[in-house]
Structure 1
Amino acid sequence: MTDRKFRNQKTVLHLIDTTGPGGAETVFINLLKEMGQTPYRNIVLLRGEGWVADKVRSIGINPFIIDSKGSFNLAYIWSVKRLLTAEKVDLIHAHLLGSNVYGAILAILSRRPMIATFHGAVDVAAKERFLRTKFFLIGLGASKIVCVSKRLEQELVSRSRLPPDKLKLIYNGVDSSLYQGKRQSNLRAELGLPPEARIVVSVGNIRPAKGYEYLVEAALRMLELDPQTHFVVVGHQREALFQKLTAQIKNAAQPPRVHWLGFREDVVEILRQSDIFLLPSTSEGFSISTVEAMMAGIPVIATRSGGPEEIISNHETGFLIPIKDPSAIVEAIQALRAPETRLRMVQKAQSVAKEKFGLRTMLNEYRGLYQQLLS
């Protein structure tokens, strides 16, 4: 029950329907950290234990756990409605499609303001069940609908009848202070690589839209051009897709220099010790890892897959290349051998990232929304 010391505070319920690590989940955690420095009382609802729950506890919040399995779980809805009453919730803030739907339903039932945040193309996938109904409910129940990129906002508008006056663009933000100070590890030593090895790093869970099969093909072609170029992939490995990638490698005449690291907590350190960042996605929303690479001071190669076009200016802050094109990946890697090209891109990219995609910018936008809806 609500503690007496919180009696006059406004209470915000934060919910997200995933339990593992990822870009949306990182934004969720960063937002919670910032909200802890505000007058608001923040409570968290999760669907289960996992990485997100551990991170929430690490910042001093004990999350409520209620399983939301299913598209329209009535037992879940009534359980959360009781929680809203018991905790005297004033505002609901949901992330990702599933939680956005439930948050909107709860906002309608409880007559509370609600923010729905969409993080990527997966939120608007055409094969999603009951998508039209879900968008209708979100449009009806949400007070504001946040999109993390213009491309995503356009996709939402094209696939739904969401009220235009409720849509708001807020880019995800990255904390630039994480990329300062001494490096804490030695990635080349960990991988058994010589000091002169060039590391091309990609960050993102292994799933179809990430286009890692084109990374593997590019790595095969780089064997002939520069055997000292190594590709490092950081992210959870979905077994079925990962098996296809390993089979692709086994069928090659020579094994490419690709290192699969799986999920890592030290992404900041890995980025800081890499020479190039590569985003080979075929479809991408707002790419947090691309901004992180810009903050880390390494040149970026990203495909024209949606979100990257809003982050990178081609030949100014990085290279934008076509999707599904291993040759373009190789050409961009080779172009970054020129020191003057690297230096110019990195300096401009760091400046743009801090100004436009800094964590403080994102947090100020959300705080403004909270104040508007709670006033």
Structure 2
Amino acid sequence: MQLVNFEIISVGKPHWENGYVYALDACKILKEAGFLFHYLIIGDSHDMELQYQIHDLELTDQVTLMGQKSLEFIKNKIQYANLFLQPSIKEGISDFVLQAIALETMVLTTDCGKVDEMIFNGTTGFIVPIRNTKAIAECIIEIQSLSEEKKSDIKRDALKTLKKQNKESRP
């Protein structure tokens, strides 16, 4: 039984490539399922399309849009979130995904770009198909239901993978 909000964060400008419309549709599925969560999108709090979608889906209590913030502020928010969500349609692995891994925050991303070089589904994070709101929602519920031991294992393995790839990329 879920007793507290599951904190989800995304970082980036509200460009169509970032896939926030699909993340918000997934939030509607979560809300309808009775899942307690808060979703913070840091990047631009004045995007009218996202504001309209949040209002239209009745997610004003669950979703917050925040303007651009300092890297230190963002890192703090990522570190204390339960999940970093990258719902992108057309992006490789973002610096913020790498930052989330370094901060030992669970990552859920879509299968765009080269994310599969860092995220191995179920081992170092989670990957769902692009534009698949149902898969995003189901994966978030699955992640929340994992044992603390399993969550720690995934975050630890992600950090090991990040460190290994950083060593291999150095001259």
- Please tell me the TM-score bracket, short chain as reference: 0.7 to 0.9
Alignment partner, residue 319 of structure 1? 126
- Higher RCO, 1 vs 2 (CA within 8 Å, ≥6 residues apart): 2
Q: Mark the CA change 1:256 to 1:218 in structure 2 (over 3 Å): closer, same or farther.
A: farther
TM-score (norm 1): 0.41
Q: Mark the CA change 1:252 to 1:283 in structure 2 (over 3 Å): closer, same or farther.
A: same
Alignment partner, residue 153 of structure 2? 344
Residues 61-72 of structure 1: pairs in structure 2 closer than 5 A: none
Shift of 1:254: 5.5
Q: Mark the CA change 1:264 to 1:357 in structure 2 (over 3 Å): closer, same or farther.
A: farther
Query: Which structure 1 residue ranges, 5 or more long, are not aligned?
Result: 1-194, 366-375
Alignment partner, residue 76 of structure 2? 269
Residues 48-63 of structure 1: pairs in structure 2 closer than 5 A: none
Q: Mark the CA change 1:286 to 1:227 in structure 2 (over 3 Å): closer, same or farther.
A: closer
Alignment partner, residue 47 of structure 1? none
Q: Distance in 2 between matches of 1:228 and 1:253?
A: 14
Shift of 1:196: 2.8
Shift of 1:224: 2.5
* 1:297 aligned onto 2:104: yes
Q: Distance in 1 between matches of 2:122 and 2:44?
A: 31
- Name segments (4+ residues, structure 1) moved above 3 Å: 253-256
Aligned counterpart for 1:248 among listed residues 49, 53, 67: 53
Q: Distance in 2 between matches of 1:253 and 1:348?
A: 37
Asked if the contact 2:22–2:87 (Cα under 8 Å) also holds between the matched residues in 1, the reply is yes
Q: Distance in 2 between matches of 1:217 and 1:286?
A: 22
Q: Distance in 2 between matches of 1:271 and 1:348?
A: 18
SS in 2 for 1:357: helix
Asked if the contact 1:220–1:255 (Cα under 8 Å) also holds between the matched residues in 2, the reply is no
Alignment partner, residue 39 of structure 2? 231
1:121-157 Cα shifts (integer Å, max 9, x gaps): xxxxxxxxxxxxxxxxxxxxxxxxxxxxxxxxxxxxx
Shift of 1:252: 2.4
Alignment partner, residue 18 of structure 2? 210
Asked if the contact 1:249–1:256 (Cα under 8 Å) also holds between the matched residues in 2, the reply is no
How many residue pairs were aligned? 165
Shift of 1:312: 0.6
SS in 2 for 1:352: helix
Query: Which structure 2 residue ranges, 5 or more long, are not aligned?
Result: none
Shift of 1:267: 1.3
Asked if the contact 2:8–2:82 (Cα under 8 Å) also holds between the matched residues in 1, the reply is yes
Q: Which has the greater radius of gyration?
A: 1
1:4-59 Cα shifts (integer Å, max 9, x gaps): xxxxxxxxxxxxxxxxxxxxxxxxxxxxxxxxxxxxxxxxxxxxxxxxxxxxxxxx
Output the aligned Cα RMSD: 2.0
Q: Distance in 2 between matches of 1:208 and 1:267?
A: 21
Residues 325-364 of structure 1: pairs in structure 2 closer than 5 A: 325-336=132-143, 337-339=145-147, 340-357=149-166, 364=170
